[in-house]
Structure 1
Amino acid sequence: MKCCSGFEKPSPIQAHSWPFLLDGRDLIGIAATGSGKTLAFGVPALVHILNHKKKEKKHSKGSRCLVLSPTRELAQQIAAVLEEAGASCGVKVVCLYGGSSKGPQYSSLRSGCDIVVATPGRLQDFVDEGVCKLDQITYLVLDEADRMLDLGFEPAVRAIVSHIPQERQTIMFSATWPTSVQKLAQEFIQDASPELISFLQITVGSEDLSANHDVTQIVEVLDDKSRDRRLQELLRLYHKTKRNRVLVFVLYKKEAVRVENFLQKQGWNVTGIHGDKSQQARNQALSAFKDGSHPLLIATDVAARGLDIPDVEFVINYSFPLTTEDYVHRIGRTGRAGKKGTAHTFFTTADKARAGELVNILREARQIVPEELLKFGAHVKKKESKLYGAHFRELAADAPKAQKITFDVSDEE
C-alpha cells in the first residue's frame, strides 16, 4: 500500500496489531504517544473495506467502518490520514464534528462513503435525524478509548453502538488505559463477540501508566505567581530562534486567553487553541502552528490527545492537568516517531494530590525526580469512581454479571 511505502519497517504497535486485525479479531491496543496507532487500525480498515467490496455484487453506499474520536482536531487528523491512505484504492472518508455547519457534512454523507470518522455528539445528531445509517458498520474503532469511555462520552457512545450490528470487529486504541475504563471496554467488545470469553489486548511497553521514553521530562516546583516570569525565561531559552515549534499547555479556556494575550504584549509570535474559539479559528491556529507562521501555540487539553504535529521540540506545561493520564498525552506531542523532545512542567502546591503518580511516571522513565516534588509525598491516591466517588469496590474482570430481576407490578402492594 502506498501509505506504507515510506516505512523502513512497521512500528511495534503496527507490527503486532496488523496480523490479528487482518484476521478479524477484536483488539485493544495500548502504546505510547507518537507510535503510529492511526495506521495500526487504519491499514486493516482499508483491507476490511476492500474485501467487502469484492464480495458485494453491487457496491453499497453504506459505510463499513466507523472511527470515534473525542476531539474535533483529532477526528480531522484521523480523517486526513485515512483519506490519504485510501486515495490509491478508492476508499472514501467523511469526517463529522461539531462546531461547524452540518450542511457540507450532510452532503458528504449523501454522496456515499466507506469510512466515517466522527466525534460522538455530532454523529449522534446525524443518527437521531436519520441522516447517517450505521446498520452496515462491521469495523468499529474507538481512538483514545480511555477518554471515549469516561463518564462524559459514555452515554453518547452507548447510543451510537446500539445502532451498529453486533456482528462486527471492535478495536480500541489508546496511550493510557486506567482501570476505571477497562471493565467498560470489555462490555463493548463482548457485546460485539458474545461467543468469545476474552478479547485480545496488545500492550507495547508497560501496562502501568508511563510516558514516552523519547521525551526528557523536567519538573519544576514553583509558586503560582512565578509562572509568568518563569515562562518567559524558558521561552528565551527554548524559543531563542522564534522559529522552532513550542507548545504551551494550560488548564482552562480563560487561562489560555490570558497567557496568549500576555505573550503577545511581550512581543512573542503566538496563537492559541481552546474550546471558546470557533472551529474555523481553531483550524487556523493549528494550521499556523504547523506551517510555522506562528510557531508558539497556547492550548488547552483539546490539543493534548492524538494530534500529530511535526517537529514540536518543546512542550511546556504552564498548568498541570487534572489527571496524570492527560499529562502523559500532553508531553507526547513531542518526541514523536522516534524523535527526541523535551517537556518542562510547572508543579504547584495546588497539584500536590497528583505528586505521587507523577513521581512514578518520572521514575519509570528514569527521569530526575526533584526533591521539592518528593516533599509532597509519594503516596498514590486510590482512584475514585466518577459515579460513586471513593466508596466503591473494583470488580475483577471475571466477576459474574449481576442477575436482572423483574418484579410483577401490583396495585395492591
Structure 2
Amino acid sequence: MDPLSGEDKKKKRGRPKANVEDLGTRLTKTNAGEDYEEVCIRNVFDRITFQSTGGIKPRIPDADIYLSLPSKLASNLASRDITQLLPTQRYTLTLLVEHDMDVFVGAATGHGKTLAFLIPIAVGLLRSLPRDISSCRRPLALIIANTQVLQVQTYRVCQDLVAGTGLRVVLVCGQTDMMDQKKDIEKGCDIVIATTGRLKQFLKEKQLSLEDLQYYVYDEADKMTQGGAFREDVTEIDTYIPPETKAKLRSCFFTATLDAMGGFEKMYREGKFCLVRVPGNPSITHKIIPIDMENDCDDKKSLILMQLLRRDLIIQGRDTYDTSKETYKHKTVIFVGLKLRCNWLGAYLRMYGFSVGVANGDHSLQMRNTIIKKFCDGEIQALIATDSMARGHDIPDVTHVINYDMADNALDTFKHRAGRTARIGHKGTCTTLLSRSDFLLFDDNPHISINELDPRRKRAKELAHYLVIECGQKIPKCLQKPALNAVKDELSLWGNNVDDPYNWMINEMGLEAHDIVKQEEMEKEKEKRKEMKKEKEENYSLSRPIPPSQQVEENEEKEDVEKKEEEEM
C-alpha cells in the first residue's frame, strides 16, 4: 500500500467538521422562573453600582419589554416567558443605545448577561437606516469569546431574539465547516459571533471587514487579563479595525468575576466610559460542608456526595436503581478539579446505582454534546464535570451544584460554578465540600506568627465577603473565625492597633458581620448557663427529698424556664 501523502495525512487526522446545527443542545432554552420578577428585578436593581467618566445620569428604561423594546423583539422574548428586562439589561440598553457609551459590566452569572449585550445591539441596529445586506461582508456588531460552546449558545440566543426582524446572524468558530460559514457571510452578516482563531483567519483572507463595526463585545473578558493566546488574538484582531471606526465604536466588556479593571480602561474612548456592577445572585442558597483532614479523601467525600444525591432523589420521589423512564425534574452538576477524578467518580457512583454522566476535556466534542443533551433532557440525574463546564453553559432545571473540589483560584471559579443553578428567576442550591486545612476552618489559633497574610485565611475572608456582600447571606460558622483572624492579620501587618477589630470586620463584611460578635457572645452566655444549670442540679441532689407532686411541678417549671432560655438564645 502506498504511503499517504502529506495532504492525505492531514485529511485523515483532521477532526470531522460539524454542522452548526449539530453543535447545540437545549442549552439555551431556560425559561424565566417563578421568582423572576421579585428576585431578579426588584431585589437586585437597588444594589447596582454605577459610575461614569462623563458624569451622565442615564434614564433607565421601563422593565416592561413591550414599553422598552420594538414589538418583534418583545414578542420573541415573551415566547421564552421573559416579559420584564433584568436590571443589567435596562442599564446596558440605555447606555449603549441612548448615550453612546463604552460599558464595562461586572455581573454575577444568572443575571441575563448574554441578553444584556444582545438586546441593545438588536435595538440599535434596527434603529439604523436600512441597507442592502445581500452581499455584505462588513458586520455592524462583533461578539468574541474564547470558547466554542459559549459562542454556539450566544448564537442560538441571538437567533431567537432577532427572528423575523431581518437582522442576519453568523457564527464563525472552529470545528465547523468553513465553507458553510463563508456562504452565510455572503448572504449577509449584521451580527458576527466568533471565536478568535477562526475570526483571525477570515480577516486575513478578507472574508470579513471590520470597517463598518458599531458594536464590539468581549464576553468573559476576565480571560483577557490572564494573558496567553486569547489576549494575543484579541490584540491582533484589534489591528483590523480602522482608527476612524474606533472613534465611533461602542466597546462592551462583560465578566462575572473581574473586580478590577485589568487594564481595560485603555481600550475605551475618552470621556465615554461607564461601569456597571451587579451583585451576586440572591436566588442561590449556599451551603458549606466543612471536611476535616482525616475525612479529606475520596473515600469519605464520596460518601457525603452520595448522601446529597440520595436526598435530591427523595425530593423527586425516587431512589437509586430506579428503572422508570420518567425524566429527572431536578438536576445536579458536580464539579471536580481533575479529569482523572471526574472519570473515577462517575464509575464509582454508577456502581452504587446513580444515574450520572461525565463531561471533561478528554472526551470529544460529539461525546460531550451527547452527554449534555441527555442531561438537559432529564435522562440522567447528575453531570460530573471539570471547570470546562463552569462557564457559559445555560442548562435548564439545574437545582443543585455540588463543589466536590475547590479550584486553586477559588473564588472566581466558585462564582462561575454556582452560576449553573438559579438562572433567570429559578431557585437553586450550591453545596461546597470545603477542606478544613485549605481554608483554616474554625481557625482556633488566632496567634499564628506570620510575616505575611496567611493565604488560607485570605481565601476564607474572600469567600465570606462574597457570601455576605454579593449574595446577602450570613457567614457560615466555619468561616467566621478565619475571616475575622484574616482581618486581624491585616491590621497587625499595617501597624494599626485597633482595640475593636469587629468594627473593621463590619466595614469589610457589612452589617451581617455583627453575627460574629453575636455568635461569640451567645456561646459565652450558653456556657455560663450550662454552669449555672449544673450547679442547680447539684444543689437539687443535696437538698432534702421533695414530695412527688411538688417534684413534678418544679420539674415542669424548670423545663419551662429552660425552654424559654433556649428560645431567647
Which TM-score bucket, shorter chain as reference? 0.7 to 0.9
Q: Provide the residue aligned with 1:204 in structure 2.
A: 278
Query: Taking structure 1 as reference, are residues 142 and 239 closer, same or farther at Cα in structure 2, changes over 3 Å only?
Result: farther
TM-score (norm 1): 0.81
**1:217-265, CA deviations, whole angstroms, 9 ceiling, x for partnerless residues?**
0111213212111111111112334612111111222222222222222
Structure number with bigger Rg:
2
1:255 to 341, 348, 356: 341
1:4 to 53, 77, 98: 77
Q: Secondary structure at the match of 1:321?
A: coil
Matching residue's letter, 2:198: R
**1:304-355, CA deviations, whole angstroms, 9 ceiling, x for partnerless residues?**
1232222211000011123202211211111111221100001115643322
Distance 2:149 2:438 in 1: 27
Residues 135, 186 of structure 2: 8 Å contact kept: no
Q: Provide the residue aligned with 1:316 in structure 2.
A: 402
Q: Provide the residue aligned with 1:214 in structure 2.
A: 283
Q: How far off is 1:131 after superposition?
A: 4.1
Distance 1:351 1:65 in 2: 44
Distance 1:260 1:75 in 2: 28
Q: Provide the residue aligned with 1:396 in structure 2.
A: none
1:176 to 257, 280, 285: 257
Q: How far off is 1:71 after superposition?
A: 2.4
Q: Provide the residue aligned with 2:463 in structure 1.
A: 358
Q: How far off is 1:158 after superposition?
A: 1.3
Distance 2:478 2:194 in 1: 43
Distance 1:52 1:175 in 2: 30
Matching residue's letter, 2:283: D
Distance 2:133 2:166 in 1: 17
Query: Taking structure 1 as reference, are residues 19 and 265 closer, same or farther at Cα in structure 2, changes over 3 Å only?
Result: same
Q: Provide the residue aligned with 2:296 in structure 1.
A: 224
Q: How far off is 1:268 after superposition?
A: 1.8
Query: Taking structure 1 as reference, are residues 217 and 57 closer, same or farther at Cα in structure 2, changes over 3 Å only?
Result: closer
Residues 98, 122 of structure 1: 8 Å contact kept: yes
Q: How far off is 1:366 after superposition?
A: 4.2
**1:379-406, CA deviations, whole angstroms, 9 ceiling, x for partnerless residues?**
3899xxxxxxxxxxxxxxxxxxxxxxxx
Distance 2:394 2:134 in 1: 37
Q: How far off is 1:362 after superposition?
A: 2.3
Matched, 1:342 2:447: no
Q: Provide the residue aligned with 2:240 in structure 1.
A: 163
1:294 to 358, 380, 384: 380
Question: Within 5 Å, which residues of 2 pair with 1:62-77?
Answer: 62-77=138-153
Question: Within 5 Å, which residues of 2 pair with 1:3-402?
Answer: 3-5=76-78, 6-23=81-98, 24-52=100-128, 54=130, 60-152=136-228, 153-165=230-242, 166=246, 167-179=248-260, 182-189=261-268, 193=269, 196-205=270-279, 211-222=280-291, 223-225=295-297, 226-240=300-314, 241=316, 243=328, 244-323=330-409, 324-349=411-436, 351-352=438-439, 353=456, 354-364=459-469, 365-374=471-480, 376-378=482-484, 379=486
Residues 289, 296 of structure 1: 8 Å contact kept: yes
Q: Provide the residue aligned with 1:389 in structure 2.
A: none
Residues 464, 483 of structure 2: 8 Å contact kept: no
Q: Provide the residue aligned with 2:507 in structure 1.
A: none
Matching residue's letter, 1:329: H
**1:31-68, CA deviations, whole angstroms, 9 ceiling, x for partnerless residues?**
23211121221122123333445156986332221111
Q: How far off is 1:94 after superposition?
A: 2.2
Q: How far off is 1:110 after superposition?
A: 4.3
Distance 1:88 1:100 in 2: 25
Gaps in structure 1 of 5+ consecutive residues: 206-210, 383-413
**1:276-324, CA deviations, whole angstroms, 9 ceiling, x for partnerless residues?**
2212222222222211122311122222123222221100001112320
Matching residue's letter, 2:473: Q
Matching residue's letter, 1:359: A
**1:134-191, CA deviations, whole angstroms, 9 ceiling, x for partnerless residues?**
3332211111222344323211211122212413111112222222xx14211222xx
Q: Secondary structure at the match of 2:226?
A: coil
Distance 1:251 1:204 in 2: 28
Residues 273, 282 of structure 1: 8 Å contact kept: yes
Q: How far off is 1:372 after superposition?
A: 3.5
Distance 1:263 1:101 in 2: 38
Residues 69, 148 of structure 1: 8 Å contact kept: no
Q: Secondary structure at the match of 2:111?
A: coil
Residues 92, 116 of structure 2: 8 Å contact kept: yes
Q: Kindly, what percent of the aligned residue pairs are identical?
A: 32
Distance 2:343 2:192 in 1: 33
Distance 1:134 1:258 in 2: 47
Residues 106, 276 of structure 2: 8 Å contact kept: yes
- Farther-moved stretch of structure 1 (15-24 vs 100-109): 100-109
Matching residue's letter, 1:335: A
Matching residue's letter, 1:236: R
- Farther-moved stretch of structure 1 (271-280 vs 328-337): 271-280
Q: How far off is 1:80 after superposition?
A: 0.4
Matching residue's letter, 1:42: L
- Farther-moved stretch of structure 1 (37-46 vs 359-368): 359-368
